[in-house]
């Protein structure tokens, strides 16, 4: 049976240095995790929304992307998509980290991820169309994460359907023109979420990140 590397031992430190030199660094702090999921959520929401709109409108997209009415609607789609993807990513993170968390640490891990999710949204100035802020999104995410923690971790494609639905609902294209495109949008979000899920396998710091979250809470700063 291969030896298990102690996270604080010299061998583990050596391999962390090798990985940091030749590949992306492991994410082992709450602040690093917060930056990671925020950046990835922003990218997925924006990329999927803009790619769909450009593909759907073709040559007319050049003019469309200069129209204030369209741009305002696109801004709503991007923000709502971001908030939905952010929650999905936190659920993916929990599924990756759960095997590294002793049973007595798992409730604390969930609390830390809830705090991280709320902290990211609280740090973002409320969009013009959302003067009330993100309180409703934070409130809805709590039961969703708790339910995920109580069941076997789901695959990235299944989790992605939540944010894909929200993105599809808010696309700045009239519903009569996009009613046949639901699977296209869902497929785009699933594809990027699956790719990110694979990246998480390489980037998340396992036991070290669990300990940091449990000990330090979820302060993303």
pLDDT per residue as tens digits for the range 156-215? 999 999 999 999 999 999 888 888 899 999 999 999 999 999 999 999 998 999 999 988
pLDDT of residue 221: 43
First-last CA distance in the chain: 40
Contact 91, 148 (CB under 8 A): yes
Q: How far is CA 36 from CA 13, 81, 86, 90, 116, in A?
A: 22, 17, 10, 11, 11
pLDDT band at 62 (very low <50, low <70, confident <90, very high): confident
- Enumerate residues 6+ apart whose C-beta is below 8 A from 33: 27, 93, 116, 204, 209, 213, 220
Domain segments of the chain: what residues? 29-216
Return all residues near 138 (Cβ < 8 A) that are at least 6 apart. 117, 118, 121
pLDDT at 175: 86
State mean pLDDT over 119-145: 95
Contacts 24+ apart (CB under 8 A), 57-66: 57/173
- Percent of the chain having pLDDT more than 90? 73
Query: Which tokens belong to 91?
Result: 């659920």
pLDDT the model gives residue 25? 85
The whole model's pTM is what? 0.85
Give me the pLDDT at residue 219, please: 47
Q: Which pLDDT score, from 0 to 100, does residue 39 have? A: 97
pLDDT-based confidence at residue 130 (cuts at 50, 70, 90): very high
Q: For position 21, what pLDDT does the model report?
A: 52
Q: Are 157 and 164 in contact (CB under 8 A)?
A: no
């Amino acid at each position: 049976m291969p030896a298990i590397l102690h996270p604080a031992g010299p061998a583990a430190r050596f391999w962390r240095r090798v990985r940091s030199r030749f590949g992306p660094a492991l994410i082992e702090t709450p602040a690093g995790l917060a930056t990671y999921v925020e950046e990835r959520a922003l990218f997925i929401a924006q990329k999927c929304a803009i790619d769909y709109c450009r593909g759907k409108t073709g040559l007319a997209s050049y003019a469309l992307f200069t129209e204030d009415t369209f741009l305002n609607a696109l801004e709503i789609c991007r923000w709502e998509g971001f908030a939905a993807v952010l929650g999905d990513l936190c659920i993916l993170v929990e599924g990756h980290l759960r095997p590294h968390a002793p049973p007595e640490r798992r409730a604390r891990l969930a609390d830390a991820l809830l705090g991280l999710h709320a902290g990211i949204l609280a740090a973002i100035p409320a969009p013009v169309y959302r003067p009330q802020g993100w309180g409703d999104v934070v409130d809805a995410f709590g039961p969703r994460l708790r339910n995920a923690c109580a069941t076997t971790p789901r695959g990235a494609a299944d989790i992605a359907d939540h944010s894909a639905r929200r993105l599809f609902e808010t696309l700045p294209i009239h519903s009569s023109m996009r009613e046949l495109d639901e699977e296209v949008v869902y497929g785009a979000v699933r594809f990027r979420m699956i790719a990110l899920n694979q990246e998480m396998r390489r980037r998340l710091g396992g036991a070290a990140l669990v300990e940091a979250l449990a000990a330090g809470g979820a302060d993303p700063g």
